[in-house]
């Protein structure tokens, strides 16, 4: 059952990601999708990987513009990091293959920053999941990239796709976070946010 407190608000998801929209629907929330103006998702070179997604989520919130009286804006950003280095979205096939090869046989982190804003208050939080890949063969990596074309995904993979089914040995943390939105934590934080 959805908290009655949340039903009094107009929840706005500022994201073009179909996965985030799908994930937010899972928790039964009624929401609108509306994106703010586009901006360059740049961050300071010396910023640690775990701080990047929350920094970008806050920038997206600031860039969105004014909110109405009962609006709650949700902005978020997800990064894949290995050895403290952020892997963005691949530029092409070769870049995607390179990224997945760097993850093969190792564990890496997926960080999602979520920022909530309403009139007069805001709050951000971070979710981190450790993902462990088995050693992938070159042909497996090339098959995945050619069949699924993961050019819109941070780290060049989607855990909900073939590569997640055959390559991910285990995760520590939220599975949905790796898909792009830690919905359990978001739901809990939303209830706290409206009750504060």
**Alpha-carbon gap, residue 77 to 120, rounded angstroms:** 22
User: pTM for the complete prediction?
Assistant: 0.92
**CA 37 to the chain's CA centroid:** 19
Residue 160 lies in a domain: yes
| 45/3: higher pLDDT | 45
Residue 82 lies in a domain: yes
pLDDT in tens, 120-172: 899 999 999 999 999 999 999 999 999 999 999 999 999 999 999 999 999 99
Return the closest-CA partner of residue 36 out of 64, 57, 74. Answer: 64
Count of the separate structural domains present in the chain: 1
Domain residues for the domain of 98 are: 6-195
Return the closest-CA partner of residue 96 out of 21, 151, 176, 167. Answer: 151
Domain of residue 42, CATH code: 3.90.950.10
Residue 40 lies in a domain: yes
Residue 1 lies in a domain: no
How many helices (H) and strands (E) the chain has is answered by 7, 7
Over 80: is that where the pLDDT of 80 sits? yes
pLDDT in tens, 165-194: 999 999 999 999 999 999 999 999 999 998
Return the active site residues.
77
């Amino acid at each position: 059952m959805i908290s009655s407190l949340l039903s009094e608000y107009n929840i706005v998801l500022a994201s073009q990601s179909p996965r985030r929209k799908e994930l937010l629907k899972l928790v039964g929330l009624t929401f609108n999708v509306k994106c703010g103006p586009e901006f360059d998702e740049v961050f300071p070179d010396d910023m640690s990987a775990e701080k990047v997604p929350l920094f970008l989520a806050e920038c997206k919130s600031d860039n969105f513009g004014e909110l109405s009286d009962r609006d709650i804006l949700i902005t978020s950003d997800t990064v894949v990091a290995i050895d403290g280095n952020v892997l963005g979205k691949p530029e092409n096939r070769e870049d995607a293959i390179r990224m997945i090869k760097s993850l093969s046989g190792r564990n890496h982190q997926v960080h999602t920053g979520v920022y909530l804003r309403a009139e007069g208050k805001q709050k951000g939080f971070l979710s981190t999941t450790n993902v462990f890949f088995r050693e992938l063969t070159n042909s497996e990596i090339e098959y995945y990239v050619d069949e699924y074309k993961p050019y819109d995904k941070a780290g060049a993979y989607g855990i909900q796709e073939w590569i997640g089914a055959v390559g991910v040995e285990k995760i520590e943390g939220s599975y949905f976070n790796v898909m792009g939105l830690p919905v359990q934590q978001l739901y809990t934080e939303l209830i706290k946010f409206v009750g504060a």
